Structure 1
């Protein structure tokens, strides 16, 4: 008897568990965009709402624009304030700038 594995045994052993390939997270991070002022926040919010109204999901709209969900959560009050009271927004923004 031989202690070495036969060709059939080697093939069976190699089949085992195959490695799973995962999508790199770096690819998603490169596509993200950053807003730097309130006007860009409102524009970005409008784009997301427009994509959502066209029959998609919110997460699909975020992916399409390259925006993180938490970013929208953090900046949504600025955009909603602009929609509700556009005449008051510049005054409020100047007050916020004065605090910093």
Structure 2
């Protein structure tokens, strides 16, 4: 549990950095780092980050790992998925179903 809370706090810190970097990308002050990325592993990492937050809010949080490889800026894709997930976890306080993203290979 302590590890999950620690990951959640790191996630909040990352969220602030994410917003700053997204603004840099919008201003073309940042160049994407294109690499092949395992989407299932990326989503699993995000799931671990948000499990403690969801549990504290009384939410049933699950992820669906879909095996896929994509060429993307891994850090930016993580950020794009993290932001709406963080927002929805802060909004919902009771069991609710929502899909943040569904990626089909």
Normalising by structure 2, report the TM-score.
0.28
Structure 1 or 2, whichever has the larger Rg, is 1
Q: Name the structure with the higher strand share.
A: 2
Q: Which has the higher contact order (CA 8 A, sep 6+)?
A: 2
Normalising by structure 1, report the TM-score.
0.28
